[in-house]
Amino acid sequence: MRTLNVLWIACAAATLAAGCAVRAPGVEANSGQPLGIGRAPTAQEMRGWNIDVRPDGTGLPAGSGSVALGKTVYDAKCAACHGADGKGATAPALAGGVGSLGSGKPVRTIGSFWPYATTVYDYIYRAMPWDKPMSLTSDEVYGVTAYLLSRDKVVPDNAVLDAKSLAAVRMPNRAGFKPSDDRARLSGNRCMRDC
Amino acid sequence: MAHDGSAKQVERLSRRSVLWRSAALTAATGGFASQVNAQGTTGNLPPNNAEWTTRPGGPFLNPPYGQPSPFEKGVVRVLPSAPNPFPTGTRTPLEKLHGTITPNGLFFERHHAGVPAIDPDQHRLMVHGLVDRPLLLDMNDLVRFPSVTRIHFLECSGNSSSQYVGPSGRTAQEIHGLVSCAQWTGVRLATVLAEAGVKPQGKWILAEGADAAAMTRSIPMELAMAEGMLVYAQNGEKLRPEQGYPLRLFLPGIEGNMSIKWLRRLKVGDQPFYTREETSKYTDLLPDGSALEFSFLMDAKSVILSPSGTQRVQKGTFHEISGIAWSGRGRIKAVDVSVDGGRTWQEAALEGPVLSKALTRFRLPWRWDGSPVVLQSRAMDESGYVQPTRKALVAARGSSYVYHYNAIQSWRVAASGEVSNAHA
């Protein structure tokens, strides 16, 4: 991959040099040839930032964590804002509310609302705890994920999650979403008299 | 007046300018207005010549980056009314602004983990995933790309959301202040993606910020390519920190959350990434318990700003009803105004140029007869979409819906002339 990039850069430089004499100023950008701006990131540079986790588990790192480990981490680093057992405090509730979405008072939590369990891992790692994001080890993130999912019985209390088992978790509201059709949004009526 | 150029006069002038400098410095810290007021004002009214007419004014800009008049100190962004332990956002004082461009210091802000202080020399944008040539770009690289400048509004999809439940908020700022409009400069997203060479399987882009939330959203390729921009300047100056300095994504007409600020990474994938923002937040829960995902568009909307909540109208006097309208679908085609709670409507004048996906100012002359009335405005855009009534919107969506509230705003004018938020 890296060899290819180097080749491409050399190629682009040659093309630009050759093309300068015949190109008019103000020629449309990207009219075929790359402009040769920027450089390829190294594999190491990419590794540090390539943190996203997809629904099928792509991106999940090695490691594993139990509900028990997760509870220890949660109580120490999460409960102050999210409350004991994820019931909510100054920050929103993370558990409870399963089956409430169609009621007059829906409670949107991980267990009741989120379609994918992998997103829990992704978000905890990138953004939590609030005062120190990206500080948890992958074992700790697996553990907190397992603990939060266990609160709504999505996984059993003795669960140990890793890349494979987390990707296999099916969330209660997995089928609850449909793509929006922006063209079908509610439109008003342009009545001008006796409306 | 003698022009003898004497040393004494020069000295006097320079001493005076020193005095003014210290006054201006006080102004910068907010203490100037009260000093001026303390001097009394009646002597400044006609037929007298005011003190500011009878002695030289202050020097050039001081501080060097100018400030509004100290008398305008009440024109500021406000925090949300409900106390929140986490910093979330501030709202634009729409009813105190003029025209359609929002000054950068008053542009609404919304963030999910605070405003990072980013050194532009150390900021990088990584473009990778399903591309032929992964890129690492610094800010100098980004400004070397061919640039574009466009005027567009930006609206948080949660703007006005409290109105689903019932009348809440008093002023246009409190209710609708999560919309602003600016002139944006940057490079088209399509230009940078072409530089990287998107592979045919590349259908979605993950955009990620460098803030403490590493904020992420998935964006369909078609939407990104159409009008997406990588923005580094706003209204002629570099972005403000709270607006994503030094680099943000900008998607015209699309819910604000997707215009990722402090942008550090674009990753091309073959399907959505289902981040926390597009699963737990920014999805639309329907009354039956199902939810819509990826509802990006900000529909047509309008609000009368003059007169609006907490303002006062005088009986029998002339007023120009004036406000703003906008649509994520393109240009505003017409704005109708009702002064009788929606029974009859008149078409307001639109002030040009009417730009696509930009705030548009509308105006209608009016004389209030003193009887209680309800004022409303209704926008229609070039796609033919008409802003709905609140009743129709809530009937269709229920009151657990959070985002994309765009119903007609009603302002009640009481017999006293006091204007208040109403759900007519």
Q: Do A102 and B287 touch (CB under 8 A)?
A: yes
Continuous H helices in B136-269:
139-144, 172-176, 189-196, 221-227
- Residue B41: band (very low, low, confident or very high) from pLDDT cuts 50, 70, 90: low
pLDDT of residue A31: 60
Q: Is the ipTM of this complex over 0.90?
A: no
Average pLDDT over chain A, rounded to an integer: 87
pLDDT of residue B42: 78
- How would you classify residue B88: left for phi > 0, otherwise alpha for psi between -120 and 50, otherwise beta? alpha
The CA distance from B355 to B150, in Å, is 9
Burial tier of B316 (Cβ tally within 10 Å: 0-12, 13-18, 19+): exposed
- Residue B82: band (very low, low, confident or very high) from pLDDT cuts 50, 70, 90: confident
Of A147, A123, A118, the residue nearest A134 (C-alpha): A123
pLDDT of residue A6: 35
What backbone phi and psi angles, to 5 degrees, belong to B127? -120, 120
The CA distance from B388 to B409, in Å, is 10
**Token pair in block for residue A75:** 């109580």
The CA distance from B93 to B172, in Å, is 7
pLDDT of residue A13: 38
Average pLDDT over chain B, rounded to an integer: 90
Minimal CA separation from A169 to chain B, in Å: 15
Contacts of residue A29 in chain B, CB cutoff 8 Å?
Answer: 145-146, 191, 194
pLDDT of residue B15: 38
**E strands within B26-167?**
89-90, 109-110, 124-129, 135-138, 148-155
The more confident residue out of B22 and B218 is B218
Nearest by CB to residue A45, choosing from B132, B136, B194, is B136
Residue B255 CB contacts under 8 Å (≥ 6 apart), including other chains:
B155, B156, B157, B282, B295, B296, B297, B298, B403, B404
Place of tokens 């040009």: B352
Does position A11 have pLDDT exceeding 70, yes or no? Answer: no
CA distances from A147 to A66, A162, B112 (A): 7, 13, 24
Residue B125 CB contacts under 8 Å (≥ 6 apart), including other chains:
B135, B136, B137, B142, B192, B230, B247, B263, B264, B265, B266
Question: pLDDT tens digits for A72-98?
Answer: 999 999 999 999 999 999 999 999 999
- Lowest mean per-residue pLDDT among A27-36, A183-192, B78-87, B100-109: A27-36
Question: pLDDT tens digits for B372-403?
Answer: 999 999 999 999 999 999 999 999 998 889 99
Question: pLDDT tens digits for A128-185?
Answer: 999 999 999 999 999 999 999 999 999 999 999 999 999 999 999 999 999 999 888 9
The CA distance from B411 to B337, in Å, is 12
Q: Do B291 and A106 touch (CB under 8 A)?
A: no
Contact B240, B190 (CB under 8 A): no
The more confident residue out of A8 and A58 is A58
pLDDT of residue A104: 87
Nearest by CB to residue B280, choosing from A104, A114, A193, is A114
Contacts of residue A35 in chain B, CB cutoff 8 Å?
Answer: 144-145, 195
CA distances from B386 to B130, B255, B324, B362 (A): 39, 19, 15, 16
Mean pLDDT, residues B253-272: 98
What backbone phi and psi angles, to 5 degrees, belong to B306? -135, 110
Is the preceding omega at residue A61 within 30 degrees of 0, hence cis? no
Question: pLDDT tens digits for B284-322?
Answer: 999 999 999 999 999 999 999 999 999 999 999 999 999
Q: Do A186 and B396 touch (CB under 8 A)?
A: yes
The CA distance from A17 to B25, in Å, is 54
End-to-end Cα spacing for chain A: 66
- Residue B424: band (very low, low, confident or very high) from pLDDT cuts 50, 70, 90: confident
pLDDT of residue B84: 76
Percent of chain B having pLDDT more than 90?
84
Q: Which CATH class is domain A51-175?
A: mainly alpha
Of B203, B266, B218, the residue nearest A49 (C-alpha): B266
Q: Do A52 and B389 touch (CB under 8 A)?
A: no
Q: In what order do the strands lie in the sheet with B360-367?
A: B301-306, B318-326, B360-367, B349-350
Residue of A nearest to B388 (CA): A188
Does position A26 have pLDDT exceeding 50, yes or no? Answer: no
pLDDT of residue B119: 98
Is the preceding omega at residue B47 within 30 degrees of 0, hence cis? yes
pLDDT of residue B334: 98
